[in-house]
Structure 1
Amino acid sequence: MASDSLQRRIDALEERVARLESAPDAPRDTRSTSWEDTFWALEGLRRRLTGRGEVLFTGSLELPTGERYEWQQGALTDGLLAADWAEHAASYAALGHPVRLTLLRAVLRGTRSAAELQEVAGLNTTGQLYHHLKQLTATGWLQAEGRGHYHVPAGRVVPLLVLVSAVVPSGSHQETE
């Protein structure tokens, strides 16, 4: 059974490599890629570790709105394992509804007004919309920026995309080297 799982993972990796290599604008570097080149972020993290480990996430991106974000956050493993995860359940719960995820994606893409968000989410009433917006603003995933307009706070953009990238099926996005 474990070998079936391993074979599926190998097949998926081979398929992803083939897609990357056949992309029209894929770089054509004939040099072999070393472990350090492939896992440059991981190697950099390893060089600075002193304890039992650290989790690091980082990102540099431009949204369709033209807004640029660069973010890096790290946490020591011991601290993460010692923390009371239940204290943060509301933040995760706010992301646990399809309408809220649709709203967040729309805001990141540039839809900011409540009227446009209601239409994008396919909600029938403003009461339904504001119920979801209240959950997202109460947990810090959204902020109101004037009357009826919303944005994702700068310190939440990359963390939100990290969470999404952790659960989106691997065929829907590409891992970078």
Structure 2
Amino acid sequence: MEPDTASAIERRLTELEQEVARLSTLAEPAADLAADAADGRAAGSAIDNENADAPDAAPAGSDAPAGSDAPAGSDAPAGSDAPTGSDDPLWFVNELGRRAPGAVMMAGAVDTAAGPVRWQYGLMADGLLSEDWSDLARPLEALGHPARIELVRQVMRGAHTTAELLQLEHLASSGQLYHHLRQLVSAGWLVSPRRGYYEVPAARVVPLLVLTMIASS
């Protein structure tokens, strides 16, 4: 990639980060923002691989392509569960398309058993399409088992110890439990800060929720 092209992409991603942060501020009540600030868990946004573990912001979603000028209500029927930050259900994707055409974002502001998580991450679609996707198979495979994906869900809901996780119906023995936990830790979906205790890293909470949204859509 030419230096000038790389610099232009970096500038565009920086602008994207700033705009998403601004929009997320508009979308959340002031009381929620104050609570997040007091809690101290809101950190810098993640727009590149080097900062991917930093928790931050929260958008809405839709199926409209980036840059679409679709009218209010398009691809977001009345009564849908999609959150909105203005009178336009596609306010986020339309603004994203205007500010950074070709960018793909995922973000969220959620409360978990371990506390609030605010996180965002974005890349340019052209860059994603130019990569070798075969390397992505392993982390996805780690979630492709009913017991493992249920383990992750239970950990996110507050079951952190092996004693609690052994109560799951999908597990027949402690040997199976430890086998699945090793797979999830190796793939980065879980961490074990101390023996017999597991948690989902803050930077994996929103991606996990996004994956479940994709699977259920």
TM range (shorter): 0.7 to 0.9
CA distance in 1, matches of 2:149, 2:187: 14
CA distance in 1, matches of 2:187, 2:114: 25
Could you tell me which residue of structure 2 aligns to residue 17 of structure 1? 78
- Report if aligned partners of 2:148, 2:181 keep a CA contact under 8 Å in 1: yes
**CA separation of 1:19 and 1:143: change in aligned 2, threshold 3 A:** closer
DSSP 3-state at the match of 1:120: coil
**CA separation of 1:122 and 1:115: change in aligned 2, threshold 3 A:** farther
- Report if aligned partners of 2:142, 2:184 keep a CA contact under 8 Å in 1: yes
Identity %: 42
Q: Please point out which of 163, 167, 176 is paired with 1:115.
A: 163
TM (norm. structure 2) is 0.59
Q: What is the aligned residue count? A: 139
Residue 126 of structure 2 corresponds to residue 78 of structure 1: yes
- Report if aligned partners of 1:102, 1:121 keep a CA contact under 8 Å in 2: no
What is the CA-CA distance between 1:167 and the residue it aligns to?
Answer: 1.1
Structure with the higher fraction of residues in helix conformation:
1
Whichever of the two has the greater Rg, that structure is 1
CA distance in 1, matches of 2:80, 2:94: 26
CA distance in 1, matches of 2:199, 2:114: 13
Residue 153 of structure 2 corresponds to residue 92 of structure 1: no
Structure 2, unpaired ranges of 5+: 1-74
Could you tell me which residue of structure 1 aligns to residue 108 of structure 2? 59
Structure 1, unpaired ranges of 5+: 1-12, 21-32, 170-177
User: Once superposed, what is the RMSD of the aligned Cα atoms?
Assistant: 2.1
Structure 1 residues 98-109: aligned runs within 5 Å: 98-109=146-157
Give the counterpart letter for 2:151 in structure 1. L
Instruction: Provide runs of 4+ in structure 1 moved above 3 Å.
Output: none
CA distance in 2, matches of 1:19, 1:54: 25
DSSP 3-state at the match of 2:189: coil
TM (norm. structure 1) is 0.72
